[in-house]
Structure 1
Amino acid sequence: MAERVLDLGWIRVLEAVGRLGSLTAAAHELGLSQPAVSYTVRILEQQLGTSLLLRGHRGSTLSPAGERLHRAASAAVAELDAGARAIRRMSRRPVVRLYTDYGFASFWMMPRVAQFRQVRPDTEVHIIASAAADPGTDEAEDVAVLFGARPDFGEGATLLFEECVYPVCSPQFAARHGLADNPRRIVELPLLHLESTPFPRWFTWSDWFAAMHMAREPGPGDLGLNTYGLVVQAAIADQGVALGWAGLIDGAIADGTLVAVGPSISRPDSGYWMRPGPETSAPARDLIDWIIEQVRR
């Protein structure tokens, strides 16, 4: 005669009782009443013909038979929970996290993310932007696009575009101050600064003036802002002249929102670098390849 097959509804109950050492605590964790948990264990004991718990005034401990069955129940629960998590992941759209700064997020990625959705409609891109994004940030990400110099990054990083800046302002501001005919008048005008640490990683107005062999002290009309998006908005609003980063400001130049009003300066060892995360999934690799293709275009 075949052995009677056990009803498996007890597995999670026994796992919780054995792990917590209390029928009451197990009931609380599982959202059941204490009598319901006690009844489940008692029915299981009747099916097996042996005691699984040693009941005392301070709680319940597993008997030798209970310990053996608890080990099997714990392994089964862990395996079933892992399988359930895997199935839920399969049913969800894959997500790729892109960690970067506000400048790249606002001016490069956001205008193009809809294009990536058209190419990979089954993948969601979560853009995690931070004003503190730097090469030394230890963030959990699938892909990071960070600004810095070559020594800041490992061998796996790819240079998207080198640092190249030039003065920009609104067309109205340029016309009002005659900058098309005499760019050197910038020295007399309000400047828009991206606030930084005492030792910024990127070009500042001091670097640009030094490259132009010009001297210029901070003026009362100058304006310091803590994100590059605010710097660009202030330039569009006729508040002064800003440094425009090639690669970020191209769209505003192309549509005439801003105009270039002076020579550029650049350095090939610095710029925006793309760094894959520690484990590159297939969707993350798709995003990396797509970004590289877009930059090359």
Structure 2
Amino acid sequence: MTRASEELGLTQAAISKQIKSLEQNLGTRLFERRNRAVHLMDHGREFGRVVSEALNSVAVASRDLRQQHESGEVVLRSQLCEGLYWLMPRLSGFYQKYPDIPVRVTVSTKPLAESEERFDLALQTSGRQQGDTKQIFTASDEVFPVCSPAYLDGETLPLSMDRLNGLHLLHHKVEPQDWVSWEAWLARQGIDLQIGTDGTVFDSYPMMIQAMLEGHGVALAWRRTIDSYLNAGTVVRPFEERLCLPDGLSIYQPTGWQVRHGTSELLEWLKLELS
């Protein structure tokens, strides 16, 4: 009690009063008082451990934020699939143009509203929960079926959409379903086609894409994440139909943060690449 009062700049009586209020709030005793001494009980020892771990987490997070701010790195947060398939193959171009601007890329499958770390810019599918950020730029994207050349070996492309029911479909399903499903893709284009229930379901877009590359079936892919495979010939489009999304992707910036040096240059580079 004495050490706590000295650290907090309060009297021992005030500390004792706060402890009693805490015990009343929790509905259990944390300390045993006998012979003018205070002894920590089992509940108090366990609660103290939890509080200590929580305060340590706050200290670590504070340290990380200070280091990010002091390091001068521009932090770019990206959805996992765009970061893996679209951003990383191009980022060397930014470094060649701006060798003195360090960029740290973080990726996540969670929407911006659930982000727990600071960032300067973010790349995310338009319409997902964006939290306390502002949308500053949008870019188009497309969604269309793709498969490996070996999966349809011998067939003449493009196929008629009626052929879709005879193919093994790969599904990417998440909760909430903020990715275009096969049903939504067909409906938004006015295609009256009931697809069967056969297929394979993935909760990871990269896993679905890898299965498609290995010849497991036909997947719905976003153009920005699949372009390199199409250009290399490792992926083909079995159908001509595509769903155009004029504002498919967005660049976001958090509010209330001081803009770090290099953020504006990275933003202009992203606009150019996305356009």
Structures share fold, TM-score greater than 0.5: yes
Q: What corresponds to 1:111 in structure 2?
A: 89
1:284 matched to 2:270:
no
Q: Percent of pairs identical after alignment?
A: 25
Larger Rg: 1
Provide the alpha-carbon RMSD of the alignment: 2.9
Q: What corresponds to 1:223 in structure 2?
A: 200
Deviation at 1:135, TM superposition (A): 4.1
- Structure 1 residue runs of 5 or longer lacking an equivalent are 1-17, 22-84
Q: What corresponds to 2:233 in structure 1?
A: 256
Deviation at 1:271, TM superposition (A): 1.8
Change (3 A) 1:179 1:188: farther
Change (3 A) 1:253 1:174: same
Q: What corresponds to 2:217 in structure 1?
A: 240
Q: Which amino acid aligns with 1:186?
A: L
Distance 2:74 2:129 in 1: 26
What do the CA deviations read for 1:30-58 (whole angstroms, capped 9, x no partner)? xxxxxxxxxxxxxxxxxxxxxxxxxxxxx
Q: What corresponds to 2:135 in structure 1?
A: 157
Q: TM-score, normalised by structure 1?
A: 0.62
Deviation at 1:181, TM superposition (A): 4.0
Q: What corresponds to 1:129 in structure 2?
A: 107
Q: Secondary structure at the match of 1:271?
A: strand
Aligned residues: 207
1:200 matched to 2:181:
no
Does the Cα contact within 8 Å between 2:113 and 2:132 map onto a contact in 1?
no
Q: Which amino acid aligns with 2:164?
A: I
Q: TM-score, normalised by structure 2?
A: 0.66
Q: What corresponds to 2:54 in structure 1?
A: none
Does the Cα contact within 8 Å between 2:137 and 2:252 map onto a contact in 1?
no
Q: Secondary structure at the match of 2:139?
A: strand
Q: Secondary structure at the match of 2:249?
A: strand
**Which has the higher relative contact order, 1 or 2, with Cα contacts under 8 A spaced 6 or more apart?**
2
Q: What corresponds to 1:141 in structure 2?
A: 119
Distance 1:156 1:131 in 2: 19
Deviation at 1:179, TM superposition (A): 4.8
Change (3 A) 1:102 1:155: closer
Q: What corresponds to 2:80 in structure 1?
A: 102
Q: What corresponds to 2:28 in structure 1?
A: none
